[in-house]
A and B are shown apart, each in its own frame.
Chain A
Amino acid sequence: MSSERLPAPHGTRIDRARRVRFTFNGRTVEGFAGDTVASALLGQGITHVGRSYKLHRPRGIFSCGVEEPTGVVDIGAGALRTPNTRVTDILARDGLVASSGNCWPSLEFDLGASLSRLAAFMPAGFYYKTFMWPHWHLFEPPIRYMAAASTAGDGPDPDRYDEVSAKAEVLVVGAGAAGIVAALAAARSGRQVTLLEADVQVGGWLATQALQPLGDASSRLQAWRCELASAGVTVQLRTTAQALYDHSLLTAIESFEGSEAHGVLRERLWKFRARQIILATGAFERPMLFPDNDQPGVMLAGAVERYATHYGVGCGSKVLIATACDSAYGVAQSLLQAGIDIAAIVDRRAQGDVAASAPAGIEVLHESVVVAVQGKRSARGVQVAGVQGGGSRHLDADLVASAGGFTPNVNLYSQAGGSLRWVEEASMFVPGRQLPGVAVVGGAAGVFDLRSAIEHAEAMGRTAIGELAPDAPVGGIGRVPADTRPTPAALAALKGKPGKIFVDLQNDVAASDVELAAREGYRSVEHLKRYTTTGMATDQGKTSNVNALVLMGQATDRRPEQVGTTKFRPPYKPVTLNAMAAGRSGARYRPLKPLPARDWHVARGALFEEFGGWERPAAYLQPGEDLHMAAEREAALVRQGVGLFEGSPLGKIEVYGPDAADFLDLMYVGTMSTVAVGGARYGAMLNENGIVIDDGIVARLGPEHFWVNTTSGGVERAVLGFEEWLQCEYVHHRVFVVPMTSQWGNVTVSGPNAWKLLSKVGFEDALAPASMKHMTMRETEFGGHVMRVLRASFNGELGYEINLPASQTQALFERLWDAGQSLGVCPYGVEALMTMRLEKGFIHVGADTDGTTLPQDVGLARAVEKKKANFVGRRSLSRPAGKDPDRLQLVGLQPVDRRTRLPVGAHLSLKAPPAEAEGFVTSSAYSPALQQPIALALLKRGTQRVGEKLQAWHLGSAIEAEVVKTPFFDPAGERLHG
């Protein structure tokens, strides 16, 4: 293949007055403004650009668009690297750096190419049958290394991305001839129209033979631009529609790469909501199937034409056209006009099936196929044979242009829920039915006759929602066979072993792999895809899927429509992750909520960590301390004196209404309706399966007024759960659920001196332990503000949770801190709290429970038995699984040596792995109160195994542990009262 630049005026897209220079594998490449990287490479005669994924076979540029399967390179370097990008999709620009991936040490000399010699041992699915002995772990590291086709950027992406939402009355996707006509018709009918086009200009394949009846390309383009402008159509170029979701939500990515705006913005995510969507997304050319069809020097015929007409590049000087479609004849004419020699047209079809005429002087071989392509990294010639066999014939050619029909681009239509139908004559899938609000025109609808396409697009553009739309006049490419492979007779005429016939060029999937999948029972198209990996590369099967399913149909005696297509999913083409993130990084990644008294914690040296979406002090490190040391010190100090903790993130919900009490009885294990005003009760919340999903204290503020605490991370879930029950099930319950977490700060004062401190600053005596019992709530006024004080404790010490207006939280901390110096007040963080609650054996939902934990597993069986009223999940508790004596139950653990900490997650068993584990460690800490490590664990029949010794396995090592009862500390709970 000897590609080269054609002389002017060929190349409607390029500006020969403006040169651009970039590098490819370190080599300088020159092109023109308007070139893609692909056209610039071809213009400079560079035809070998990559290696296939599995076998590292040489690969060239195959197409001229987004469907490119083999011209895949890395663009950029360092943090700016974008791996595995189609050269056909990137504009050439000064300074661009392109490099081949999946090859080492170089593209030309790739050690991975030696795998080609083992191709016979590497058919589809070979890795499911190998790499097992002696152990698969042995093979995993090299396979992982080799499986990477490239490397990602190695630093934070410095480019900027953006997102914008827009509305459109009519949204037209694709600005080829059909799309433009539809857009103009819609606009002239008085509607607002937005037209999206992925390319840098409207017009589609304007300069090609297919659209020649529209006249001179440049004049037509200019005329359309003027018409679109005067009709008020909003045209958005370089914007690729990616997905079409429910409710007419369409997303698209606008690219600024290579433009002058790139320094400001690289990509923008558009989210359109449109009343009506018209898809004019065109069609992909389907490649012919013949031996050696994968090597550089074989390209899609339409692409060859476009490189000549749009970019002024001759991809070969002597082109052989292999075809089974009438379109090839127009391509031949186009290439001749560009001064490119045509070796011959090799048409698989009988002459009677051909409706097009060949250019004068061009040899046409009917009922003939290519049976071999000579050359390794470029084509030198082909062997051609008749489909009936006989002999084969050599033809000189440095390029094989392949035209096997068309595949309408129905990706977005299918995403919108449209079903496809197979058109036997043209061997293609087209939209099968009309969708409300979504119309399909042009090649995407399977309409290839230009006049019919224009008429249909105009009619669809005029058609408003709800009106009956005309059916698409499918056809216009003549008769195209589904299976374009050489016949066995033709292959036999080669008199030698034919090369592989590739279906998926990027993943090296051959026709033989499809047949293998059929023989092994992977007949479903979804299994075909996953077993052979056809369609799973970066091109998403745009040029391979139909051929693959046709072959599967042949192998299993089914028609293509019986095999069907795989599910079309977004995105339409590969998208950079940051385009979808659209700014969600750093501080914008997700909300990280600061505490109301954050400054106070900062001033005390808090080490902040994220807990449930809040930034909270894990501990307050002093010089020489690490986190564990600080937490142990704080826990010890709290138990000796008094500690201050900010519990503001604790979930707070006010529940009010005539049915509030009854409703809370339904929501909790634990009867809330019998709590006296001013009283409080602990409750666990279950889901419908009886699984523990949250817990907290419910206090009664009034006869019909409750204060509900939930876990810090569970409040939103709890509110949603309450509302769902009220709106969907208990619809007659008159209850308000009012989330109040952010309104109220929480200062928790805890320890033997807790009341001393509160009294010292002036809290009223009614809150003294003698007057205010544990698990009661009082409203009080302090410092001019109403506060709700709850006597409760998560650490087993005398504790007061003071709820106050969030804006007053810091002021109270400061006041208590100043007054508490003589009492040895200390701040304590989440780690110390977790240590202390562990000493008391209190559960932490989510840590000591998982998606299988029932209330009886964590010591709440009695609460379930005592409660007479119904509650969510009650019925599920009576299922056999809930009564299984072997259930995992929460127990205490301590290391037998009293020294070694038991790692969270360590598996518990009597015997070494691979013996089945009988449980696992859920929480673990060093207990300052007991001066030894302690842990909680979920263990089979745990409560019946107190005193038993077993092994805790972690990363191959065992720690001997003993099952013990909880609480570890203050079992009588006497410290609660100060």
Chain B
Amino acid sequence: MVELIPSQGGLPGCRRVRGLTAITIRHFPGDASAAEAVRTQGLVWSNLPGELSGSEPWLAWRSPNETIALGFTAAPIQAVLAALAPGRSASAMAANLSDALAVFELHGPRIDEWLAHLVDASSIPRDPGRCSRSRLADAAVMLLRLQADRLWLVVDGPVATYLENWLAFSHEGAFAPIL
């Protein structure tokens, strides 16, 4: 973890999360192989809109036929990747995204207040175990609510620097001492 904005003075902070393994799991309607591959590894399959299941690693619903699995524990995720490698199932596949994604962790109090300066307020997942997709300036992001005071912001890797700039700028704007 690389601390970008420390959480202090009753304000939220932000850090860059590193060392994650991430995959995308794609599945057609009616497919059972994806859920089976996931459960075989002891993970919690989620296929309900906006659901973030599990706890290290996590599974985040992204669309009716896409779920993202990510976490620090590589083995089970890689096992799912292998089980769903193209050619193994006619109705599902998985692909490695470990190098494709950048993840930022917003932590501390008043996260939602900060996020309102970045994304549409309606898209903020307020409760732990929820996730959503949104637009942050000109970047597509996923928001994963891990805990009340811990949220992951997932974005395409090459726009990480762009996100860092926005996080710093919006933190200032959200918590500037305006009288």
Contacts and interface: CB of A to CB of B under 8 A. Distances in A.
Contacts, number: 119
B121 A734 contact: no
Contacts of A160: 172-173
A658 B90 contact: yes
Given A587-B165, A806-B157, A261 B87 contact: no
Interface stretch (B42-50, B97-105, B145-153): B97-105
Given A165-B119, A734-B28, A805-B98, 11 more contacts: A264-B176, A271-B120, A273-B120, A583-B170, A587-B162, A588-B137, A591-B138, A594-B161, A742-B101, A742-B158, A806-B99
Nearest to A589: B138
B75 interface: no
A742 B165 contact: no
B87 A705 contact: yes
Contacts of B120: 165, 271, 273
Given A702-B86, A807-B99, A587 B161 contact: yes
A701 B95 CA distance: 14
A273 B121 contact: yes
Given A703-B87, A742-B156, A807-B99, A163 B117 contact: yes
Contacts of A336: none
B137 A742 contact: no
Interface of B: 24, 26, 28, 65, 86-87, 90-91, 93, 95-101, 116-117, 119-122, 137-139, 156-159, 161-162, 165-166, 169-170, 172-174, 176-179
B117 A593 contact: no
Given A164-B117, A743-B100, A738 B95 contact: yes
A273 B119 CA distance: 12
10 shortest A-B CB distances, which residue pairs? A593-B158, A162-B173, A743-B100, A742-B100, A165-B121, A806-B99, A591-B162, A705-B86, A261-B178, A591-B159
Given A261-B178, A271-B120, A588 B159 contact: no
A741 to B, nearest CB: 8
Given A588-B162, A734-B28, A265 B173 contact: yes
A586 B169 CA distance: 12
A745 B122 CA distance: 35
Given A260-B179, A587-B165, A702-B86, A743 B158 contact: no
Nearest to B101: A742
A874 to B, nearest CB: 28
B169 to A, nearest CB: 5
A738 B116 CA distance: 30
Contact of B26 (A164, A591, A705, A736): A736
23 contacts: A160-B172, A162-B174, A164-B117, A164-B174, A165-B120, A165-B121, A166-B121, A167-B122, A259-B179, A261-B179, A264-B177, A273-B120, A588-B165, A588-B166, A590-B162, A591-B162, A592-B161, A593-B162, A657-B93, A704-B87, A742-B101, A743-B97, A743-B100
A743 B98 CA distance: 7
A451 B85 CA distance: 73
A740 B121 contact: no
A736 B156 CA distance: 19
A608 interface: no
B87 A166 contact: no
Contacts of A264: 176-178
Interface in A792-808: 805-807
Contacts of B91: 734
B139 A591 contact: yes
Contacts of A740: 95, 100
Contacts of A586: 165
Nearest to A808: B99
A743 B96 contact: yes
A256 interface: yes
Interface in A640-691: 654, 656-658
A743 B99 contact: yes
Nearest to B138: A590
Contact of A583 (B86, B87, B173): B173
A165 B122 CA distance: 8
Given A164-B174, A807-B99, A593 B159 contact: yes
A558 interface: no
A394 interface: no
A584 interface: yes
Most buried by A among B93, B117, B120, B178: B178
Contacts of A705: 86-87
A588 B118 CA distance: 12
B27 to A, nearest CB: 9
A656 B84 CA distance: 12
A773 to B, nearest CB: 23
Interface in A578-612: 583-584, 586-588, 590-594
A164 B116 contact: yes
A271 B116 CA distance: 10
Contacts of A702: 86-87
Contacts of B119: 165
A258 to B, nearest CB: 13
Nearest to A583: B169
B31 to A, nearest CB: 10
Nearest to B166: A588
A448 to B, nearest CB: 36
A656 B86 contact: yes
Interface string A713-742: 000000000000000000000101010111
A167 B120 CA distance: 9
A701 B86 contact: yes
B87 A594 contact: no
Most buried by B among A260, A588, A591: A591
Contacts of B177: 264
